[in-house]
Amino acid sequence: MPIISRNFEAMSIAKSTKKSVSELGDYTIRINLEFLKGCEFTCPGCYVNRSNDFTVDDLSMVEDAVTSFQESGFNFDEIILGPTDFFSALNCDQVLKNAKFRSIFKSSDITLILISTLQTKEEEIIRRIKLLNDSINSECDIEFLIVFDLEKILSKDQDYIEEIKRKIKLLDNVKADVDYAFQINIRDINGLENFNLLELTSYVRDEFDTIVEFNPSFLRSSNEKNIHETLHKWNNLLAHNYSKIEAKDVKNVLFTMGNKNHASLSEVTYNYKNGTFYTCPFVYENIFNTGERFKINATGDNGRYKLSDFHDHRNRTTVEQLQYSEKTRECSSCNHLLSCVGKQVLQFMEEYKIKTCPLAKEVMDLY
């Protein structure tokens, strides 16, 4: 099937939909799989571990969890297959050819999310699309997150722009419905401090028919100093940009963090790596951390997970976050508190001993 028409509109709606927890089926669950290994690119701001892999037992564990969520009436929504570039990962073929991986997608209700720079050679992109078509139910949806070269987009590098457009067109060969979004790796943008976010998002919308999202890959870093400094600089950059945007134009810049419902109490994402599930805080986007605080303990036989393991961890961390809010400077009285608790932001804050808002709060207040 071709890429869906009016991709920008579809992606904007998908990222801003408000969901209710009034019914069990409205409670959405997603899983991020840290399976793909190897990547031939070195994108600025990327801290992804390239030494990932998976086993048949990993796939059994994930399949059991998906089945358990679905049979219990939850809306199991997405599988994110990462963390490296889908079109250049060394073990992509092994994942897609595995019968257990394919069986997860026997339901047409699951969206597969893939990450790429679209810098791989065209013939390899086409080869992997054919393999993808053999592996996935054609009734499923596939979303590509395209990590783009910010400097080349800002400089209007026509060779790069035409290459990306040409490779996006190759996605028409995927037999499932396809949509796509652009992503920026959050980082210290040296020399580009004055770039205009509204102009950037408008240009990407007009040229590529899609949205721009922020990817906090730097939060995978073990360097706490880098984490604190990058957050501070990025928040200042956002605040500076939004101070120049007229109120009527704010809605034209997608800012998912400002949506109190997105990735909140009605939506849960779990990270999975090497036999263990972890909670997935949402700080500008889903983040990955295997610290003990985020680990979900399995209490079933032979190290398997029970549905109650996920519930118990969610309930416990909700209480812990509310308790931690009292130790911060402003969270306990902030109108974003419940949204941030749902997004597990305070769990992230406690892990890094952060007492002030780690987000561009003045920007969030605009949405």
For residue 174, give the CATH number of its domain.
Answer: 3.20.20
Identify the CA nearest to 317 among candidates 328, 307, 306, 309. Answer: 309
Residue 105 lies in a domain: yes
CB 172 within 8 A of CB 2: yes
Q: The domain containing residue 271 runs over which residues?
A: 7-304
Q: Beta-strand (E) ranges in the chain?
A: 28-34, 75-82, 111-116, 141-147, 177-185, 212-215, 267-273, 276-279, 295-296
CB 68 within 8 A of CB 100: no
Residue 349 lies in a domain: no
Q: What is the layout of strands, in order, in the sheet containing 177-185?
A: 212-215, 177-185, 141-147, 111-116, 75-82, 28-34, 267-273, 276-279, 295-296
| Number of Cβ within a 10 Å radius of residue 245 | 17
**Locate tokens 């130790």: which residue?**
327
- Measure the CA–CA gap between 22 and 45, rounded to whole angstroms: 39
Residue 129 lies in a domain: yes
**Locate tokens 């992109």: which residue?**
125
Residue 365 lies in a domain: no
Instruction: Read off the amino acid at residue 9.
Output: E
Distances (CA, A) of 254 to 234, 236, 349: 16, 17, 24
Residue 97 lies in a domain: yes
- Measure the CA–CA gap between 358 and 365, rounded to whole angstroms: 14
Residue 100 lies in a domain: yes
CB 80 within 8 A of CB 117: no
CB proximity list for 82: less than 8 A, separation 6 or greater? 32, 33, 34, 35, 36, 48, 113, 114, 115
CB 227 within 8 A of CB 352: yes
- Measure the CA–CA gap between 225 and 35, rounded to whole angstroms: 28
- Measure the CA–CA gap between 45 and 41, rounded to whole angstroms: 12
- Measure the CA–CA gap between 179 and 7, rounded to whole angstroms: 6
User: Tens-of-pLDDT digits for all 367 residues of the chain?
Assistant: 567 767 777 777 666 554 433 344 457 899 999 999 999 998 999 999 999 999 999 999 999 999 999 999 888 999 999 999 999 999 999 999 999 999 988 877 899 999 999 999 999 999 999 999 999 888 889 999 999 999 999 899 999 999 999 999 999 999 999 999 999 999 877 666 567 899 999 999 999 999 999 999 999 998 999 999 999 999 999 998 999 899 898 988 888 888 776 666 678 999 999 999 999 999 999 999 999 999 999 999 988 999 999 999 999 999 999 999 999 999 999 999 999 999 999 999 999 999 999 999 999 999 8
Q: Please give the full DSSP string across 59-108, using - where no structure is assigned.
A: HHHHHHHHHHHHHTT-EEEEEEEESS-TTT-TTHHHHHH-HHHHHHTTST
Percent of the chain with pLDDT strictly greater than 70:
92
Residue 43 lies in a domain: yes
- Measure the CA–CA gap between 73 and 28, rounded to whole angstroms: 10
Residue 45: both structure tokens together = 């701001």
For the chain, what is the domain count? Answer: 1
Specify the pTM: 0.92
Residue 159 lies in a domain: yes
Distances (CA, A) of 8 to 76, 132, 180, 206: 24, 24, 9, 9
Tens digits of per-residue pLDDT, 258-281?
877 666 667 899 999 999 999 999
CB 112 within 8 A of CB 140: yes
Paired residues of 82 in beta bridges: 34
